[in-house]
Chain A
Amino acid sequence: MNMVTAPHGNAPGIVEAAGLVKTFRDFWMRDKARAVDGIDFEIRPNELFGLLGPNGSGKSTTIKLILGLLRKTRGKLLVLGQDPGNVKVKAQIGYLPEESYLYRFLTAHETLDYYAKLFGLDRGTRRRRSGELLEMVGLDRLGHRQVGEFSKGMARRLGIAQALINDPAFLILDEPTSGLDPIGTRQVKDLLLDLKRRGKTILLSSHLLADVEDVCDRMVILYGGKIHAQGTAGDLLADTRHTVIESARLDEATIVAVDEVIRARTGGGIERVAAPRQKLESFFLDLVERAAAKESSTSGARAGGRTAEFLRGEPSPATGDALMESLTRSEPAPQQRSTIAQAAATAPPAPTTPSLGGIETVTGDGPPQPAPGSTVRRDRPSTSGVAEPDRSLIEGLLEGGTKGGEKPGGTAS
């Protein structure tokens, strides 16, 4: 199997696994199960790496091996260039387990203080970070409540906070959005992108494909302890047989004209014409935002606040302040740009997430395919479009079809 590598030159890997095997044995030392079966992968610095797979595919075992909670049976596994059992390595790791295994008898503040002390953080830093993290995950008003009284989602939020208490260079998240509401899920995704922008390396394990797809640079898909697919989201998800053109709503005559242009140039024609639907997630978030604007009260955790100060901190050496600013302001995020640039360089371009009020037109050789979004959006899709369109391509298409007729203001990617 080929090693999955990121395009980051010769920088040492955060995690390097080669021929990694983990076999569980029973009391009599007989092989019970081979959870990880000779996998090879590498996680490079400043990468958001996805570990995908169904239940029992070996994702959690791989993570436990990386954390030193399990010992490998065979193969090579280095974390930050060291054996995973090395205690010093763990100072740079943040871990959110599948379930938030927190002490029920501690309050939220005490929980963060407990974990902060494990990293040897001084009292002032502990206090400051705890406050900022609790505010970030929306638990600042529940800091003195015992974890045993928390709902699953609230415990999950606290779990995320504890994973970040040491401002880790390498963050491992096992099903981070499990138990979270859509707002929390969106916030976690945003947080991951923020952290990556700061130069953090993140390993995201999930069986929620949308989570991984939305944020990960590269991913491996595990099944039965083996890697069955690997690569960037663009590599794995690109549908090279179709082209999607998104524009403002078109009348039937225009569609016919476009169809004629396509037929004239490719001989194929339009296969499907549809008005895109708003995503439920976008709809939900809008609704909640409006309710929040009216100051509707809620019990329990509030929507999380802004990213903790210490996590925003100084930008990574690789990027300057100006660049960070521009990346924060603009859409898409840095990694999206590279993806888009890659997509633009290849023809036809990768499909995009449909936007409100537009129309989706699918052309291609084969039957219509679902249109997975290969690009990553930081914000909710908006009616005004999200990326600078390739005007020449659209104009070319329209000119061919309408012969200088009405010029629609659509976008394409």
Chain B
Amino acid sequence: MNLVFEVWRRLREMSASPRGRIVFATALGLVALGLTLPLQLESMRYLELRGQVEDVLARANAEERTPEAVELVERGTVTIGSTPFGGPPVAAIAVQVFDEKGRVSAPRELASFILAPTLPEWAPEPVVGSSTTPILIIAVAVAVAAAAGLTGLGLAATITILATALVSAIAWQQGVITWVIAAAGAGATLLLFLLSTRLALFVLSGSNPVCSIAQGVVREAIRLRVAAFFMGATLVLIPAIVVWISPDQPLRYQVQTFLSRSTGLLYALVATMTLFLGCATTAFELRDRQAWQTLCKPVARWQFLVGKWLGLVVLAVTLLGVGSSSIAGFLSYLRTRPAKDLPDAVAVTEEVLVGRQGVLPEFKPLSREELIESIDREIDGDAILREDIDRGVRKELDVRRTLAQDKQKAHLASLRLMAPGQSREYLFHGLREARNSGRMISLRYKFHAGAEDAHEVHPILLRFPKNGSWTDRQFVAGQVYVFTVPPDLIEDDGTLRIEVANIAVDGQGFVEPKWSINFEPDDLEVLYPVIGFGENYLRALLVDLSKVAFLAMLSVAAASFLSFPIACLLAFSIFAIGSISPFLAISVDYYSVSKDAPVVIQWVQIAIKGVATAANWMLGGFGVVDATEMLVRGRVIGGDALLRVVGGIGIFWTALTLTIGYACFRRKEVAIYSGHG
């Protein structure tokens, strides 16, 4: 055992020495090259073959019935040399691949489709089908491996590569390619994490107290295995999600499930780590007196707090960055899985992996005159109400205000209600950008009808007045549906008109359904892509990072004047309340004091409502923008929402918390009485 430790010690020392670093960097670089070079070789083979297939397809002409076209249509194959490629799946779509002139309309795509079965599982077509991607992957792998060696991480990197190779080899032998991918991904992520921590330490190497304290936090997190634990959890759980997702589901759901679970998990882990570590590093340092040593140096109290905060934020950025790279990698892998059908493939690119802007229909409220007239009519028609006002039992202004709210609400609700046989036209404005982009837009709807029976199907008819086209569809109450709309149905001024009719169509014509249908204000919506998924993902990261930045300051500030358990309790409570604030807001609206209950219970209920209202008022902003939810639904995180979160939570809330924490910590006596008595 001693020999093992001695060897380990020697290797560790060697990996840290200048000469050892060069040796490790060279060796690791060669290993990385050896592991990734097959991708390039496979790519070269594939590209050459694809070129030959494309040449054959270029000669195929259905009009002229060339031999290549006949073979393609009849057998679904293309012969290169004496080897035929393709088969029945190609034959099934062969007649659709020719354009009006009889030529193959998209020879490259068809060649890829024909050759897809010839590719090994470890070489997905999006990777080897590009001449630059494999080279890029090799370059990155070699650079990362060499960088690991040069930064003194040679030994750790070697162990990581060996462990990854071992697990991958076992999975390969068992024929479970998903596990191979998962293990390789986890290994790459670990390597990236090790390098990122070095980078984080380098970033914080400035000669000032704030950087020094921040660097201390990062070192503490790494050495005390706190960050390693959370990183370990990320490393294990994100690949586990990939393994867990069934490839039999529609690809859209696979991608959505992975995005939802992985980004949600990553945020939860980073937030939890930040809160825990922030409380621990500050409270324990004050308790164990290391803070004395720091604070008797020329370090202002605010610098101490900001230093701790900066360390936590850099650590969070590292974890979020590494975790996101892992997510991006596995997402790329998921996208190589086959879609169930064409709408499924389109949904992935047009509804999930995209940043879409949503537009709600215009609901015209009652005008002031209409409202006054309606209220007057109501008061005049209600003798009791009139009498109450005249006798001063109720104030007329209060009555009118209440009636105005009720009537406006009822009017708007009526605009979202369609009796059997009734139809309404809805106008969606501001879609000029969508029209100009030429990309398909989506109509999302969720209707309620009857008793909300999940087994009952209701009819509906959608009509587009611009060209008079219509489509009859069916829905289950309470479920979300998406209908793809061509952009040319949008008017020149950017308005889309859609008529929704509560009408069924059968063989004999239009039929009046049994139930009325209605919907919530945001359950009829038009969505159109405005940015790509990558940019939207970066915005989501910024949102999460802003929240984590606030949580970091919250935990540090709380622990600067509270003990570890109390600080944890406070910080986690604020995090929990902030996260559930959207649900809390709804609950507060619905929560009412029971007038029949005993007075004590009423007081308790009033207190509960008061606390919930106050908590929601203070922390409501925290949960308003749910980055994960928006990513999963392919919603763009708009500039205003981003500004609200980054500026509001990331900057203003953080600064406010720092100010409060500093006010408490500035007057705190960090030393304690250590004498008798």
Residues of chain A whose beta carbon lies under 8 Å from any beta carbon of chain B: 24, 32-33, 35, 55-58, 60-61, 64, 67-71, 87-88, 90-91, 93, 95, 97, 99, 101-103, 105-106, 110, 114-115, 117-123, 126, 144, 146, 162, 166
**Cβ-neighbour of A106 out of B208, B216, B288, B289 (below 8 A):** B216
User: In the complex, what residue of chain A is closest to B300 when comparing beta carbons?
Assistant: A87
Q: Collect the chain B residues with CB atoms within 8 Å of residue A56's CB.
A: 675-677
CB contact list, B203-252 vs A, under 8 A: 205-209, 211-213, 215-216, 219-220, 223-224
Q: Collect the chain B residues with CB atoms within 8 Å of residue A115's CB.
A: 293, 297
Q: Collect the chain B residues with CB atoms within 8 Å of residue A24's CB.
A: 673
Whole-angstrom CA separation of A119 from B298 in the bound complex:
6
Whole-angstrom CA separation of A12 from B220 in the bound complex:
42
Contacts known (A32-B677, A103-B216, A114-B215); A67 close to B296, Cβ less than 8 A: yes
User: In the complex, what residue of chain B is closest to A106 when comparing beta carbons?
Assistant: B219
Contact B297 A90 (CB under 8 A): yes
Q: Collect the chain A residues with CB atoms within 8 Å of residue B675's CB.
A: 33, 35, 55-58, 60-61
B273 to nearest A CB, angstroms?
16
Contacts known (A119-B297, A123-B207); A114 close to B290, Cβ less than 8 A: no
CB contact list, B175-227 vs A, under 8 A: 205-209, 211-213, 215-216, 219-220, 223-224
Q: Does B294 contact A (CB under 8 A)?
A: yes
Q: Collect the chain A residues with CB atoms within 8 Å of residue B671's CB.
A: 64, 67, 69-70
Contact B296 A114 (CB under 8 A): no
Contact A97 B293 (CB under 8 A): yes
Q: Collect the chain B residues with CB atoms within 8 Å of residue A103's CB.
A: 216, 219-220, 290
Contact B298 A162 (CB under 8 A): no
Q: Collect the chain B residues with CB atoms within 8 Å of residue A121's CB.
A: 207
Q: Collect the chain B residues with CB atoms within 8 Å of residue A33's CB.
A: 673, 675-677
User: In the complex, what residue of chain B is closest to A98 when comparing beta carbons?
Assistant: B674
Q: Collect the chain A residues with CB atoms within 8 Å of residue B224's CB.
A: 105
Q: Collect the chain B residues with CB atoms within 8 Å of residue A126's CB.
A: 207
Contact A87 B299 (CB under 8 A): yes
User: In the complex, what residue of chain A is closest to B675 when comparing beta carbons?
Assistant: A56
Whole-angstrom CA separation of A118 from B213 in the bound complex:
8
Contact B296 A101 (CB under 8 A): no
Q: Does B406 contact A (CB under 8 A)?
A: no
Q: Does B669 contact A (CB under 8 A)?
A: yes
Contacts known (A33-B675, A118-B294); A101 close to B16, Cβ less than 8 A: no
Whole-angstrom CA separation of A115 from B212 in the bound complex:
8
Q: Collect the chain B residues with CB atoms within 8 Å of residue A99's CB.
A: 289
Contacts known (A33-B673, A69-B671, A121-B207); A146 close to B298, Cβ less than 8 A: no
B338 to nearest A CB, angstroms?
49
Q: Collect the chain B residues with CB atoms within 8 Å of residue A146's CB.
A: 223
Contact A117 B677 (CB under 8 A): no
Contact A118 B669 (CB under 8 A): no
Give 5 pairs: A residue, B residue, CB < 8 Å, sorted on A.
A57-B675, A68-B296, A101-B289, A106-B216, A117-B207
Whole-angstrom CA separation of A126 from B208 in the bound complex:
12
Of the candidates B207, B208, B219, B292, the one having the most CB atoms from chain A within 10 angstroms of its own CB is B207
**Cβ-neighbour of A88 out of B16, B213, B295, B298 (below 8 A):** B298
Contact A69 B294 (CB under 8 A): no
Whole-angstrom CA separation of A194 from B676 in the bound complex:
35
User: In the complex, what residue of chain A is closest to B671 when comparing beta carbons?
Assistant: A69
Whole-angstrom CA separation of A123 from B673 in the bound complex:
37
Contacts known (A70-B669, A70-B671, A90-B296); A117 close to B223, Cβ less than 8 A: no
Contact A118 B290 (CB under 8 A): no
Q: Does B655 contact A (CB under 8 A)?
A: no
Whole-angstrom CA separation of A114 from B674 in the bound complex:
27
Q: Collect the chain A residues with CB atoms within 8 Å of residue B289's CB.
A: 97, 99, 101
Q: Does B670 contact A (CB under 8 A)?
A: yes
Of the candidates B213, B224, B677, the one having the most CB atoms from chain A within 10 angstroms of its own CB is B677
Contacts known (A69-B669, A71-B669); A118 close to B677, Cβ less than 8 A: no
Whole-angstrom CA separation of A58 from B670 in the bound complex:
17
Of the candidates B207, B290, B669, B675, the one having the most CB atoms from chain A within 10 angstroms of its own CB is B675
Apart from A90-B296, A117-B209, A118-B298, what 20 extra A-B contacts exist at CB < 8 Å? A33-B677, A35-B675, A56-B675, A64-B671, A67-B292, A67-B671, A68-B296, A69-B292, A69-B296, A69-B670, A70-B671, A88-B298, A97-B292, A103-B290, A105-B219, A115-B297, A117-B212, A118-B294, A120-B298, A122-B207
The 3 closest A-B pairs by CB, nearest first: A117-B212, A69-B671, A105-B223
Q: Collect the chain B residues with CB atoms within 8 Å of residue A120's CB.
A: 207-209, 298
User: In the complex, what residue of chain A is closest to B669 when comparing beta carbons?
Assistant: A70
User: In the complex, what residue of chain A is closest to B289 when comparing beta carbons?
Assistant: A101
